[in-house]
């Protein structure tokens, strides 16, 4: 039997392309938009760096332009920064130029091209709210983490309050796709269900609040 229509390469590209095209077109606007939506983003990035400071090998998924990378990579022995679009990675490469411990490469958050037990920590910043199946991304993170490894998943909470809901809907009108409007501790619950123990959960308030969650795998 032949492949079902949704399994063909053409169909897969058709489903993926609209989601990545937005980021290709808006890569150079990303930093400004993030800082406008949450003025504490830089503070959050530093918290990510503190959370992975004791890790030798770190993977960052959906690293974008490297705003978190620049804060988290210093002091790490090996830091692999990935994204789905080359346009984002071009800007990231400029940001970390000269950092010999940082590798930059294309990667799919839902199908990571790394062996099991490859990293001491995985960072997934500002991605889970965009995914139809965020649990799958967490499953991939768990697969590539070593026992006792750390997961850090700061995520915009598009459902946390009336202002965030309004902004979220305005962003959708501009082509920005939001799959999940996280509110309260929904992100914490998702991480726990994926088999992690939450060790740090806090808010970074802004026009769009950020929920910061750090968790750990059992040893």
Binning pLDDT at 50, 70 and 90, where does residue 28 land?
A: low
Residue 12's pLDDT is what? 35
The answer to whether 159 touches 208, Cβ cutoff 8 Å, is no
Pairing relation of β-strands 57-61 and 155-156? unpaired
pLDDT digits (tens, 9 = 90+) for 196-219: 999 999 999 999 999 999 999 998
Torsion, Cα 10 14 129 71, to 10 degrees, reads 70
Average pLDDT over residues 101-105: 96
Domain ranges (residues) in the chain: 5-216
Residue 16's pLDDT is what? 37
Beta strands in the chain (DSSP E): 57-61, 78-83, 102-106, 119-124, 145-152, 155-156, 197-204, 210-216
From the list 94, 60, 102, 97, the residue with the least C-alpha distance to 77 is 102
Average pLDDT over residues 155-159: 93
Binning pLDDT at 50, 70 and 90, where does residue 179 land?
A: confident
Binning pLDDT at 50, 70 and 90, where does residue 128 land?
A: very high
**Is 187's pLDDT higher than 90?**
yes
Bridge partners for 145 per DSSP: 119
Architecture of domain 5-216: 3-Layer(aba) Sandwich (3.40)
Q: What is the mean pLDDT of the chain?
A: 87
Q: Highest-confidence range of 18-22, 25-29, 163-167, by mean pLDDT?
A: 163-167
**Is 60's pLDDT higher than 90?**
yes
pTM: 0.87
- Cα 141 to Cα 163: distance, rounded to the nearest angstrom: 31
Intra-chain end-to-end CA distance of the chain, in Å? 44
87 backbone dihedrals φ, ψ, rounded to 5°? -60, -45
The answer to whether 196 touches 151, Cβ cutoff 8 Å, is yes
Average pLDDT over residues 166-173: 81
- Cα 105 to Cα 47: distance, rounded to the nearest angstrom: 24
For 68, residues 6+ apart whose C-beta sits below 8 A from its C-beta are 45, 48, 60, 123, 125, 154
């Amino acid at each position: 039997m032949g492949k079902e229509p949704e399994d063909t390469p053409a169909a897969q590209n058709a489903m993926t392309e609209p989601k990545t095209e937005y980021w290709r077109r808006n890569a150079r606007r990303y930093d400004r938009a993030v800082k406008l939506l949450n003025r504490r983003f830089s503070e959050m990035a530093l918290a990510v760096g503190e959370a992975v400071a004791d890790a030798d090998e770190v993977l960052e998924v959906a690293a974008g332009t490297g705003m978190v990378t620049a804060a988290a990579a210093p002091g790490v022995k090996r830091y692999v920064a990935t994204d789905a679009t080359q346009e984002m990675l071009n800007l990231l490469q400029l940001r970390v130029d000269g950092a010999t411990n940082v590798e930059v490469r294309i990667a799919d958050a839902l199908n990571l091209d790394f062996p099991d037990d490859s990293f001491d920590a995985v960072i997934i910043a500002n991605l889970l709210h965009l995914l139809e199946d965020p649990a799958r991304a967490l499953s991939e993170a768990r697969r590539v983490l070593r026992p006792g490894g750390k997961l850090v998943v700061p995520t915009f909470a598009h459902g946390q309050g009336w202002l965030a809901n309004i902004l979220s809907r305005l962003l959708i009108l501009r082509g920005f796709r939001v799959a999940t409007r996280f509110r309260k501790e929904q992100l914490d619950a998702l991480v726990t269900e994926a088999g992690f123990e939450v060790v740090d959960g806090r808010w970074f308030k802004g026009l769009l609040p950020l929920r910061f969650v750090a968790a750990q795998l059992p040893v």
